[in-house]
């Protein structure tokens, strides 16, 4: 069995509405664009330096359906998944690689917005 660990934990906000699709076999696939705020205070100037990291998150199965249904742009979520890199070909025929955070049956997604704050 597998003896490695491959775990990613993110808390951030959606940069846009979730993109929910169905695979040919009917399973839901949901793509999220997630921003983690990593702003920090500059030691010398004392000013806040804005820094945002963007993550491609892909959810599969039941959790994808939930995400597609309840999340929207700006939603704050907790994500627990794994790193996966896939290869694809650009229009120029050259290989490209995209690294994504994959949330499957072994992962987790939790919505962190309070119900009251949802308009």
Residues that bind other proteins (CB under 8 A): 1-13, 23-25, 29, 35-41, 48, 51, 53-55, 58, 60, 78, 82-88, 90, 92, 94-99, 101-102, 104-105
C-beta separation of 67 from 30 below 8 A: yes
Of residues 97 and 115, the one with the C-beta less far from other proteins = 97
Query: What is the token pair recorded at 13?
Result: 């906000």
Of residues 93 and 119, the one with the C-beta less far from other proteins = 93
Of residues 72 and 78, the one with the C-beta less far from other proteins = 78
Task: Please report how close the Cβ of residue 50 comes to other proteins at its closest, in angstroms.
Answer: 10
Task: Please report how close the Cβ of residue 36 comes to other proteins at its closest, in angstroms.
Answer: 4
Task: Please report how close the Cβ of residue 58 comes to other proteins at its closest, in angstroms.
Answer: 7
Task: Please report how close the Cβ of residue 11 comes to other proteins at its closest, in angstroms.
Answer: 4
How far is it, in rounded angstroms, from Cα 119 to Cα 113?
A: 11
How far is it, in rounded angstroms, from Cα 59 to Cα 107?
A: 9
Q: Where are the beta strands (DSSP E) in 38-75?
A: 40-41, 48-49, 52-60
Sheet holding 52-60, edge to edge: 19-22, 28-37, 52-60, 95-103, 76-89, 108-111
């Amino acid at each position: 069995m597998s003896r490695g660990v491959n775990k990613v934990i993110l808390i951030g906000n959606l940069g846009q509405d979730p993109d929910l699709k169905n695979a040919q076999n009917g399973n839901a696939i949901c793509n999220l664009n997630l921003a983690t705020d990593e702003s920090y205070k500059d030691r010398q100037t004392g000013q806040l330096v804005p820094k945002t990291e963007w993550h491609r998150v892909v959810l599969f199965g039941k959790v994808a359906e939930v995400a597609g249904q309840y999340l929207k742009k700006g939603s704050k979520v907790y994500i627990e998944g794994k790193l996966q890199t896939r290869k694809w070909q650009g229009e120029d025929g050259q290989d490209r690689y995209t690294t994504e955070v994959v949330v499957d049956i072994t992962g987790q997604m939790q919505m962190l917005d309070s119900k009251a704050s949802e308009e």
